[in-house]
Amino acid sequence: MLKDRKIIVVMPAYNAEKTLQMTYDEIPHGIVDDIILVDDKSHDRTVEVAQRLGLTTIVHDQNRGYGGNQKTCYTKALSLGADIVIMLHPDYQYTPKLIVPMASLIADGLFDCVLGSRILGVGALKGGMPIYKYIANRGLTFFQNMLLKYKLSEYHTGYRAFSRELLEALPLAQNSDDFVFDNQMLAQIIYGGYGIGEITCPTLYMEESSSINFSRSAIYGLGVLKTSLLYRLNKWGIMASKEFANVQIKNGENSIKSP
């Protein structure tokens, strides 16, 4: 609990056996009420480690993708009564030590969503981010800030905290089951007028850390461009796409009706 708000950490996991214990050990258990791990049909002992640690463990009977995994994470967290949900990758790329400040910014009502940014400060390259990913991150972020008329240091971090009210306001089931789910979610948050905060996050790229290859990164990049263009077309009223049609505007009604 933090300021009477129930805190649940969710971990979308795939082959995280080697890093799960390290990640778990740094979680501030004094404020975290529950930890949910959703295993996306790993080929290692991720589930065995999670169960040994006493985590609430859900195992997909088939691989549903990174976005599909998150859908299960958030659905379960909300069903357990979470007031604040923090997504933390179990590959130890992001430090769990930031859970307290991230949750505090939401518990204090300052933001609806808080991102752990690798770009603020010198965390990304210093932590081993491949240079091509850094360049792509900067280019895509610049493009998105222009189209979404928002300003974030990056749209591509996997370390995120959300209020319950925000998660309930987003049509997450309409989003992709692939990696672009993350980007669709942020576009929906901005579309609905919800506040996003960022804090500097050191990062660590290890051999055991999960990472998508160049071809998957290219597909993700195209998905980001598509999401941004759809956002702008929806804002202009030219179309009503499924990703934005049922986003609940903060303190208001649904943004637009489905055609």
pLDDT tens column, 116-128: 999 987 767 777 7
pLDDT at res. 207: 64
pLDDT at res. 131: 85
pLDDT tens column, 144-201: 999 999 999 999 999 999 999 999 999 999 999 999 999 999 999 999 999 999 999 9
pLDDT tens column, 229-248: 999 999 999 999 999 999 99
Q: 255: pLDDT confidence band, cut at 50, 70 and 90?
A: very low
**How would CATH label the architecture of 7-245?**
Alpha-Beta Complex (3.90)
pTM for this prediction: 0.92
Work out the percent of the chain whose per-residue pLDDT is above 90: 83
pLDDT tens column, 128-144: 777 888 898 999 999 99
Q: Does the pLDDT at position 256 exceed 70? A: no
Residue 218 and residue 254: Cα distance in Å, rounded?
Answer: 33
Residue 167 and residue 71: Cα distance in Å, rounded?
Answer: 10
> Max CA-CA distance within the chain?
52
Q: Does the pLDDT at position 78 exceed 60? A: yes
Contacts of 28 (CB under 8 A, 6+ apart): 96, 97, 99, 100
Q: 258: pLDDT confidence band, cut at 50, 70 and 90?
A: very low
